[in-house]
A and B are shown apart, each in its own frame.
Chain A
Amino acid sequence: MIPAAFEYERPSSLDEALALLADGGDDARPLAGGHSLLPLMRLRLARPTLLVDIGGLNDLRYVRDEGDQIAIGALCTHHALSHAPELSGGCGLIAEVAGQIGDPQVRHRGTIGGSVAHADPASDLPAALLALDAEVVAQGPGGSRSIAAADFFVGPLMSALEPSEILTEVRVAKREGCASGYQKFQRRAQDWAIVGVAAVVESDGGSISNAAIGLTNMSGTPLRATAVEEALAGAADEGAIAEAAKKVSEAGTPFADANASAEFRLHLAEVLIRRVIADAMS
């Protein structure tokens, strides 16, 4: 299928892009790699009237070490992130997750900005951003603002971005001395996650001192499994980790769909938490 007709603009600066979006009204959408939007448009499930193609804004492609934070430009592709040497320590989680998104072709085009802004509960990066307490930078006509990941994801395909704003950057605090990992469960390698678990773990003399767990596709938004995190504190062996993982049910009842019942989702989340922690600890 072919998308319904739309107007197209290719601004050469962010300011120009913001102005175009503001003029375009509610049915104007920014376009980066297009891997969230174009599939919907092809099936005519999305019909924006104006696409503002920000793909030419090359100053949004960077991974920068800014001392205590890593700043990631919105136009970085998943592929680029999965190979970015700057993403080490806890930030390595971003690289790991990016390398697991979709398939190689998707990773070559899809961008972190597009993926995060799309706020699909089944997409992988949001859970990682939650676990890392990342910030999302939005640029609007009135300037830029920073939104905590925890506040950014509002509902299925809904974020805290205003229609007139463009997500320009993701910022993650640098963390050394911690381990991280992402595990997702899907039927086919190219599929969206049925459930995914992102974890950042700090340990102290063999036991967990601090853990952050982000969940993919367990709800309309990515979630933090706070009860699990609390229960993991002090866990030193498989049994304790397994007990903590059971607390994932306290994150709420997940939804059911054609891929999994709520019960199975919950079960998978528990299994994946066990596995991702065990992997991270080893």
Chain B
Amino acid sequence: MRRISVTVNGVRHEADVEPRALLVYFLREQLGLTGTNVGCDTSSCGACTVLLNGQSIKACTALAVQADGQDVTTIEGLATNGTLHPMQQAFHDEHGLQCGFCTPGMIMASVGYLSEHSDPDEAEVREALEGNLCRCTGYHNIVRAVLEGAKAMRDSETVVGGGNGAADGSGVAMGRVREGVVVP
């Protein structure tokens, strides 16, 4: 067992984990954050996508111990005070989900992407989602949702920080700018 300290959705958690515990199981089973799903065992499907220091990663392909001292955002961390994040709202408005299993990963991948590319076109969105699989929607409405969500985020100035392209790849913790206050 190894003691780690991880900030998840703004809350710092100290926990003892087995070294082999994957980040996604740490989130699901130890923290009870079960919104992040596991859809494959080969880093292919992206259902488990979360943000690590603002950048999208597959939580099935990281050890919990590797997240020690870092900042994780999961699907549970997007909505604030019961108000859906613009990307969640866009998935709802555009019928971007059916069974909903891939949805948390799709949304997190999209939010992560938009932190670096706020105004993508359809082709760019499709490329950006190359690491996320869905079997229900044929992606048509997911792509529309991401385009609409991007627009809503621009319009509402929902700024998602992080992923500044620094050579150290560590990025910056994700935050939302609301009335000039950075809310982690």
Contacts and interface: CB of A to CB of B under 8 A. Distances in A.
A35 B57 CA distance: 11
A94 to B, nearest CB: 12
Contact of A104 (B19, B130, B166, B168): B130
B127 interface: yes
B169 A190 contact: no
A109 B62 contact: yes
Nearest to A78: B169
A109 B168 contact: no
Given A38-B61, A43-B41, A43-B42, A61 B131 contact: no
Contacts of A42: 22, 41-42, 60-61
Nearest to B49: A105
Contacts of B132: 103
Contacts of B55: 79, 108
A3 B43 contact: no
Interface string A110-151: 010000000000000000000000000000000000000000
Contacts of A103: 46, 130-132
Contact of B46 (A34, A83, A105): A105
B167 interface: yes
B41 A104 contact: no
A109 B61 CA distance: 9
B22 A2 contact: yes
Nearest to A79: B169
Contact of A5 (B18, B22, B41, B65): B18
Interface string A76-108: 110111011010000000000000001111101
A3 B169 CA distance: 26
Given A43-B42, A190-B44, A105 B169 contact: no
B2 interface: yes
Contacts of A35: 43, 61
Interface residues of B, number: 39
Interface stretch (A51-59, A198-206, A218-226, A272-280): A51-59
Contacts of B27: none
Interface in B127-184: 127-128, 130-132, 163, 165-170
A4 B18 CA distance: 11
Contact of B65 (A4, A53, A61, A106): A53
B25 interface: yes
Interface residues of A, number: 44
A184 to B, nearest CB: 13
B128 A104 contact: yes
Q: Name which of A10, A62, A63, A109 has the most chain B CB atoms within 10 A of its CB.
A: A109
Contacts of B52: 108-109
B113 interface: yes
Interface string B86-99: 00000000000000
A61 B167 contact: yes
Nearest to A77: B169
23 contacts: A2-B20, A2-B22, A7-B19, A10-B68, A31-B66, A38-B43, A42-B22, A58-B168, A79-B163, A102-B131, A103-B131, A104-B56, A104-B109, A104-B128, A105-B43, A105-B46, A105-B49, A105-B61, A105-B109, A106-B61, A108-B56, A108-B112, A189-B130
Q: What 6 A-B pairs come out closest when comparing CB atoms?
A: A103-B131, A8-B19, A83-B165, A77-B169, A189-B130, A80-B169
Interface of A: 1-8, 10, 31, 34-35, 38-39, 41-43, 51, 53, 55, 58, 61-63, 75-77, 79-81, 83-84, 86, 102-106, 108-109, 111, 188-190
